[in-house]
Every structure is written in C-alpha cells, then in structure tokens.
A and B are shown apart, each in its own frame.
Chain A
C-alpha cells in the first residue's frame, strides 16, 4: 500500500502499518530531539544498530513491511521532553525508559532486553527517594502530565509516515472528507473551546470562521513556528517529534476555511525541524495527502516551508506574513484589516501556532466534548511548557489547564535543585512577567496569568532561585526586546532603549531616586503608544518585577546593593582569613591575576584588579569555602 486513494483506504492502511510494526518483537527508540542529539544520542543509535547487526538481527524496517519477522529494531523518535536526563532510550513494547545513556551502555541494554528479559538498573530514572522508575509512567516528571500534543513525540519515528498511520494518523482528515462540511468542522473547533496556543489565546473557532467567511482567493493557511521566546522550545519539539500531526491539522484547517496553499514558518535556528518537515511533506505528497485531489476527493492543498531569517518580531502575525512576502518584518500599523481577511499577499489567511494545529486531529477524532472536559471552563485542553532554569527536572511538559504553578514546579519539576529557594517564575517570554512565591497557587490559564501581570505566552517557563537578581532579569528582557524591536515606532524603539539604559544604570549602582517613577511612567507609555503587541507588552518584565520585587530595585538604588549578588558593579569577592588554607587553587584560576598569596598562606584579592568573574569562588574547595561574595561593594582602602 503506497497511497491513500479514497478516505476509506485509511483504516486498512493503519492495520497494515500496525501489523508490520508488530512483527518487530522489540524496538529500541532513541530520542533524536535536539537536546538528546547534543548529548550524543546518535552514537547510541549507531551502536544499537551495530550490535544488533552483529547478532544477525535484521533491523531493516522495510523487511517488516514485506512480511518478515524481526527480533528487534532500532528507531529514532522525537523529543520525550525530559531533555535534562538525555540521551533517552525507550524500549517497546515494555516501555522501559533509560536515561543518560552512553554508547558504552548499549551492550548491557541489549543483553538485558533480549537475553535476560530484565532492565539495566543503573540507567533507570532514580527517584528522589532512591527507588528506580522502570517506565516513563512511573517517573514523577511524567505522571502528573497529560500528554496530547506531545503524546506521540517520543513514541513514533517522525521520519516515517507509516509510524504516524499506525497511531491513527490521518483518520481525522479521512473522517471529515467523508462526513463533514467545512462549517461542521469549524463548529467542532469552536465547541472544543480551543484557544490559540501562540500566546494571546484568541478562540481558534472564531478565527477559522472569520477566514472561512472572508472573500478573496486563493486563501492561505499559515503555521507560526517562529518560536522566538528565549527559553522556549515547545514548537520545535512538536515539529521535530510529530510533524505530520501539524500537517494534518493544517490540512483540516485548509479544508475548513477553503485554503489552497499553506506555509509553515520555521525559525532559522531549527534546522532539524526543517529536515523533518521536508521529509514529512514529501511523504504526505507521495501518499496523496497533500497536493491535488487529496485522498482522491475534490480538495487540493499544497504546503511549503518558509525558513525565518532571525527576527523575533516575525512571530507577530502581520510581520510574519510580510516576511514570507520578502519584506522587512515590521508589523502593520492599526487600524488595519484582520489577517483572516487581508493577510498573506493581501489574501484571507488563517494563521495559528504549531500546537494549535497539532491539537486539531485529536479534537476531530475524539470530539469537542472530550477536549472541553480537560482544563478549565475558559481555557480548555492542555498547555505545553518548556520548564527550564533553576529546576530539578527541566524539560518539556504538557499539563491540563488549571493546574497550579506550584504543582508544575514542585510535583513535576521536582522543585529547586541544590537546596535552593524558589524566587520567581517567568512565563510568556519577553512579553510576560515574573511571578513571586506568593502567587504559586495561581492556576495556569489565560485569564489568571493575565490578572497576575504575566501572560500564558507560547509556553516558556523559567524558574529562578534566590541567586537571581530580578533587576538583572528585567534588564535582560529589555536588552532582548531592544535588540529585537523592529524599530519602526518611537515608543518601542526608543522606549525600550531608555528603559534598558535606566535598568543598566540601576544594575551598575547608578540608579537615581526618580528612576522608579520614570520606569512606571515609560512602561505605561510604551504599552499605550506602540504599534504592535510586542511593543505593547515589552515593558511587562519591568512592570511585574517592579510590582513584586520593588525592594530589590530599592536596594540597588539606595543602598548600592544587589541582594542576589549578581550585579558585578555592586559586588566584591573576598577571602575569609579564617577559612583560607592557602591551597592556591583560586590564585591559579584567576584570569586577571588579582589573587596573591604563598602556598599555605592566606590569599588576598586585590580589589582594584578583580573583575568579579567569580572563578575563585567556584574553584575554592567546598571544604574550605573561603571565598565569599559580598554586596555592597567593599570600599577600597586608600593607602
């Protein structure tokens, strides 16, 4: 079977693929997400192939489709989400889940699996209580999650469409092409309560309806994969791990709104996602799932990949479409028509985020009520977050809307590592805000986060411990927005610059009394005066840190003190005479030779040379812990 010539072909295709894959008794799935590849997962993959071949086991997938049985096979999968513990290997059908696998571990894995029917204990995830988890399901990181969009990411080979068929891929498209009118599909999307997963949370059904009703031809369906928020990689993982779900979702959208062409806009920094998408589109065309007369019915849809060229602002819908048109990505100035009416090449255009499209096949197959039953009344379904920063378990998570920040951080994320204390959680990237510990019980949904001064955003969630300076964090985000501002309107171009200059000064101890008021005032004017959503939200990191961490600003301005001891101009390093054993480690590591002292003698840091790099503190053996960081700065004694 190598094409879907009628929608009815799809059931037999699924059975055929399931049967073929079932002929493989054991399957080692190596995570080939960007994180695991960086950790060396491809070496693990090659070693598995090599050792299985040595055992004369046929690992060629094609033979399964020819009807041959196989004792074992190796495959790659998309991201499992638990990137921190990578490289990850999952063994099917048992679901045994190995973490931090090296090529050298492969012989043990093979022997345990194929010969002993057991597990390699040392590679199983170690729970905080010391016990080991055998499958993903037993790992605390996973068992509080509810995976829909990410469900297939770690279990199928994203480069083989037949794996997708085997897990009900394209059943939703077949279903609508046979039984549903475009309006009926839109009604389902509306009833599901799905809101756009790009950040703003606009109801998807209403957007689809707007594009459906808009006059003009051809229409376009565009997928926003320009995931620019620093600290976010949800969309990348979905595109890498299950590209066909996004493509199927877009095809369903095209059918619903009457679009002829589609574009997937992918960030330049995501080369692997581009490769996976190219392969997926190629295979979908081969199987008559893209192009003319899809599944043999009167429905044409062509899909292209557009690679972004490195501009955060292109995540904004009008900037994104202008960028595809080969122009500068400068958002269109309001008042302007909606993108659903006048979008790409001035034609009606439906633009949604990667995850929004990826939800669609499941919503069609399992029904609007099923989706609506997950999450909260106003925010249905699940939310995908990239959980990073000072957190024990960092990685990609999918949780039902309404779960609290506390549950995410402590139950799934495992809390703050190294005995640290939670200080703030940042959501929504540069447009979002930092929430303090007092708001940990805030439920995750569009409205609650908005109320707290942050936003849901696309899904970045960065956890910060007590060693994080909130003024520095605000400065960091403003630096980002200043660099990424398109520059067309004055409030954003010069406002972010001014805010940044003030924050830099505060971090340097040059803050003035009037700065706090000016920060408030300018933040509101940048919000009120900017052209686009990015400019309007650019000051959010300042506003939320001012709201929840004002004492830190005051310490910087009035006491010239950085409470978290981060801001270089407000800290000094010094060596405790009582504790220093004269081991010379610090003196040898100091890049500017600021430390003097004989062996076994107390060492001294020359404050006039020190650049506050902190290497001495890092190098000082824990048993001595003689180097300490102090703020405000030590006053230099004038000789």
Chain B
C-alpha cells in the first residue's frame, strides 16, 4: 500500500527537526484517514476528535524514533490503536455515548450518514475492541494481513484468524440488528 509519497516523506524529515509548519502540513495530509479510523472505532465524534489529537501529540513527541518515513501512516495507526485500547481499559470498556445525546450533537456525523453506515457503526460498537480494531484496519483502512500484523504486533496468520472471527461476529450482529429493526417496523 503506497501511503507515504515523497512530499510527505520530506515533511516528516523536516518535522523531525521540529519544523512546526511541516507538522501542520503532515496533520493536514493524514488526519482524514486517521480520524475516520478512530471515528469508526469509537462511534463518537467527540471521543474520536480527542483521540486523534492525542495520537498526533504522541506521534510528534516521538517522531525522532521513526527511522523510515515511509512507514509513518502505519506507525500512526499503531499509536492510534494503542491509545484507543488504553482509553477503553481506563474507562472499563465503556465510551460514554450519552454525552452525544446531552449535548445535542446527534453524533455530529450521523446527520450526514446513510442508515446503513449508522448500522455499521452500531454493529462495530457491539464488537469486542480487539476484533473491531482488526476489521477496521483491513476492511476500512485497506491494510493487507501482513501490514495489519505489523500494526498489531502479531503474525499474518493470527490476523487472518482474528479477522475471520471478527467478520463472522459483525455479520451476526448486523443480521440481528436488521431483524430487530424489521420487527419494530412491522409492530
């Protein structure tokens, strides 16, 4: 997967020297992808915004450790994944989505998303976090099994196996949700 072009590589090298303009440009070039990953992980706009910022702060605080700029995006996903899983552990596995209702945010992005994508987000939210991460890395972000294995710190075979379970789990969850929806629609 070609993710880091020459321009981004050069910006990363400049950012490693502390160039703030380069940092801003790197964020601009990469934030859509990273935010989308965290948004589907959390199903909450505010949490995703917060985690995206946390991820970038950690990225740039440790950028000098990155030896090969071409691995920046996958490295960023690894950091994002770790921050998300740490947050889940801290909050005892529960992202507080009631916040969205109280602040009349209506989920922020929900107003612009179709029903099937809202259903997908709900299905993902019902999954175990580790399975959610692997299915989003491969099926949303488009990483290969090997690349996902690098991000997750595991083997390609382990990713394949985890992904198979995750897809089965998500399919089942979505099926149940659609049946519930049909049943309440017809009652």
Do A and B share a complex?
A: no
